[in-house]
């Protein structure tokens, strides 16, 4: 079977978050099972320069969008026999400093940019010599693909367009635009209505996907249940309830080639669950790198994320500040960027407690690996978390996760109260600084119990969240939508 994945981010070529990691790891894992896999994604600025293996093809085409004809071209890279990556060149749309915007503002023409990507994906699917049977769309940026495919079947004589699946990586981002943007889709105006893509007088790209795709998945089973409720459904819970029979959750996996502490080129020393001596070297090196006193006996906490309300950044600032002010012995390292007030609050915290807190504001994949390797505990107090990848990386790198029991965090971390023998981390329920504070106190108590700490850390480091396991569920889903 041939499957085409459509995505706006693909690690290591372009990344702002977990979407990039997930699609690239899934594609490789699927190709490893023998499936023929293609991926279509934008050719953003600098990608050809930093990846000379991406080659331009002579496949050029043009899409009528409103009054203009927008030209595009595919670039291609074939990293392995079963896997082909297709990059959509359209300099006006994608040769820009950011993926979605700059200095905290989205690009004004994001609707046009991702309509273009979605329509390019269909050109690819229609004209490849071995057309895909399944087109697997990821998030709102490719949410229009299912309705575009249906239109192509009904009105342009494409007898067998691929079956479509939409995976929701984060329901909070829906791609909502003024209705004028519908003209750029090339779809008839009467196809825009409440049962398709119209949502409160705006075009909603994700809703278009959720109403039209053959199947819907989210990135963890627990999140698939949560989004059926008003608390997590972001206004689409009614629609999702209607599609309950077509909705499922498949937990993301980890690319253990990239996240392998025994061979990670970003780390100053290698280590494994069997031999942790290198982790102590990583901790000392991280303390030096972040300008903190080098001290093996102080527990080192960390967080790496977009700085937003979703990720509980404000809870971390409050909790770490109050614990240190109360005289607790701990260190904390933050890597991230996002809302300016949160960036400044982390800078202030680091200034207030220079021997205990270090904050690096920015995006730095190498440092993110060194933090996971050097940290003893990892804080993830998310308000909601569709899957979350950093708790999975933390487990493998021996940074015990402290998580709010929501979404994929609930599915992937085991608290000692639930199962002492298999415990991998610490969980709390309420989204509040007080609850996180209590959980960190538990971690500090655990730090003083080396046998317990070793047991929990070992469980986490040996837990298996490999894509080999998870990708089998996607293969089963692809087969089932093709049978329908």
Contact positions vs ligand ADP (CB under 6 A): 17-18, 21, 170, 304-306, 335-337, 363-365, 368, 387-390
Q: Which is nearer to ligand ADP, 41 or 90 (CB)?
A: 41
Q: Cβ 251 to ligand ADP, closest distance in Å? A: 12
Q: Which is nearer to ligand ADP, 27 or 335 (CB)?
A: 335
Q: Which is nearer to ligand ADP, 136 or 455 (CB)?
A: 136
Q: Which is nearer to ligand ADP, 147 or 389 (CB)?
A: 389
Q: Cβ 348 to ligand ADP, closest distance in Å? A: 18
Of 306, 359, 309, which is closest to residue 334 (Cα–Cα)? Answer: 359
Question: For residues 244 and 274, is the Cβ–Cβ distance under 8 A?
Answer: no
Q: Which is nearer to ligand ADP, 196 or 391 (CB)?
A: 391
Residue number with the shortest CB distance to ligand ADP? Answer: 18
Q: Which is nearer to ligand ADP, 82 or 305 (CB)?
A: 305
Q: Cβ 44 to ligand ADP, closest distance in Å? A: 16
Q: Which is nearer to ligand ADP, 304 or 481 (CB)?
A: 304
Q: Which is nearer to ligand ADP, 70 or 304 (CB)?
A: 304
- DSSP collapsed to 3 states, the chain: CEEEEECCCECCCECCCHHHHHHHHHHHHHHHCCCEEEEEEECCCCHHHHCCCCEEEEEEEEEEECCEEEEEEEEEEEEECCEEEEEEECHHHHCCCCCCEECCEECCCHHHHHHHHHHHHHHHHHHCCCCCCEEEEECHHHCCHHHHHHHHHHHCCCCCCCEEEEEECCCCCCCEEEHHHHHHHCCCHHHCCCCCCEECCEEEHHHHHHHHCCEEEECCHHHHHHCCCCCCCCCCHHHHHHCHHHEEECCCCECCCCCCCCCCCCCCCCCCCCCCHHHHHHHHHHHHHCCCCCCCCCCEEEEEEEECCCCCHHHHHHHHHHHHHCCCCCEEEEEEEECHHHHHHHHHHHHHCCCCEEEEECCCHHHHHHHHHHCCEEEECCCCCCCCCHHHHHHHHCCEEEEECCHHHHHHCCCCCCCCCCCCCEEECCCCHHHHHHHHHHHHHHHCCHHHHHHHHHHHHHCCCEHHHHHHHHHHHHHHHHHC
Maximum distance among all Cα pairs of the chain, rounded to whole angstroms: 72
Q: Which is nearer to ligand ADP, 320 or 387 (CB)?
A: 387
Of 166, 13, 180, which is closest to residue 99 (Cα–Cα)? Answer: 13
Q: Cβ 15 to ligand ADP, closest distance in Å? A: 7
Q: Which is nearer to ligand ADP, 122 or 304 (CB)?
A: 304
Q: Cβ 19 to ligand ADP, closest distance in Å? A: 6
Strand partners, 164: 135
Q: Cβ 416 to ligand ADP, closest distance in Å? A: 23
Q: Cβ 465 to ligand ADP, closest distance in Å? A: 13
Q: Cβ 396 to ligand ADP, closest distance in Å? A: 12
Q: Cβ 120 to ligand ADP, closest distance in Å? A: 24
Q: Cβ 48 to ligand ADP, closest distance in Å? A: 23
Q: Cβ 121 to ligand ADP, closest distance in Å? A: 21
Q: Which is nearer to ligand ADP, 310 or 432 (CB)?
A: 310
What is the spatial distance between Cα 153 and Cα 150, in angstroms, rounded to a whole number?
A: 5
């Amino acid at each position: 079977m041939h499957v085409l994945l459509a995505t706006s981010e693909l690690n290591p070529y372009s990344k702002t978050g977990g979407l990039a990691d997930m699609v690239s790891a899934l594609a490789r894992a699927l190709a490893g099972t023998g499936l023929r896999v293609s991926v279509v994604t934008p050719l953003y600025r600098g990608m050809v320069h930093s990846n000379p293996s991406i080659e331009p093809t002579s496949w050029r085409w043009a899409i009528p969008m409103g009054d203009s004809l927008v030209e595009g071209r595919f670039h291609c890279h074939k990293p392995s026999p079963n896997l082909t990556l297709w990059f959509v060149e359209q300099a006006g749309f994608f040769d820009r400093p950011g993926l979605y915007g700059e200095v905290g503002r989205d690009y004004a023409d994001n609707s046009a940019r991702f309509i273009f990507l979605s329509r390019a994906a269909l050109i690819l699917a229609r004209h490849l010599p071995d057309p895909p049977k399944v087109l697997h769309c990821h998030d709102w940026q490719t949410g229009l693909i299912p309705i575009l495919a249906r239109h192509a079947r009904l009105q342009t004589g494409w007898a067998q367009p691929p079956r479509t699946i939409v995976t929701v990586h984060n329901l909070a981002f829906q791609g909502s635009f003024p209705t004028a943007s519908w003209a750029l889709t090339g779809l008839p105006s009467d196809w825009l209505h409440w049962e398709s893509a119209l949502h409160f007088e705006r075009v909603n790209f994700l809703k278009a996907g959720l109403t039209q795709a053959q199947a819907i998945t989210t990135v963890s089973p627990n999140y698939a249940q949560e989004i059926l409720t008003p608390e997590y459904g972001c206004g689409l819970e009614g629609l999702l309830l209607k599609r309950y029979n077509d909705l499922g959750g498949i937990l993301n996996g980890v690319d253990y080639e990239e996240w392998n502490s025994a061979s990670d080129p970003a780390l100053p020393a290698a280590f494994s669950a069997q031999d942790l001596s290198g982790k102590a070297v990583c901790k000392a090196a991280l303390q030096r790198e972040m300008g903190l006193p080098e001290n093996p006996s102080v527990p080192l906490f960390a967080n790496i994320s977009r700085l937003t309300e979703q990720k509980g950044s404000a809870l971390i600032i409050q909790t770490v500040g109050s614990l240190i002010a109360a005289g607790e012995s701990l260190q904390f390292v933050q890597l991230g960027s996002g809302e300016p007030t949160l960036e400044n609050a982390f800078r202030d915290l680091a200034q207030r407690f220079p021997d205990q807190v270090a904050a690096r504001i920015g995006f730095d994949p190498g440092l993110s690996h060194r933090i996971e390797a050097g940290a003893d505990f990892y804080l993830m107090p998310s308000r909601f978390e569709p899957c979350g990848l950093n708790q999975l990386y933390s487990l493998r790198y021996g940074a015990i996760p402290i998580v709010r029991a929501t979404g994929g965090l609930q599915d992937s971390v085991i608290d000692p109260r639930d199962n002492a023998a298999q415990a991998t981390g610490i969980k709390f329920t309420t989204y509040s600084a007080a609850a996180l504070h209590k959980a960190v106190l538990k971690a500090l108590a655990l730090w003083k119990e080396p046998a317990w700490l070793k047991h929990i850390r070992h469980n986490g480091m040996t837990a298996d969240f490999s894509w080999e396991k998870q990708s089998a569920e996607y293969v089963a889903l692809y087969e089932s939508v093709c049978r329908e």
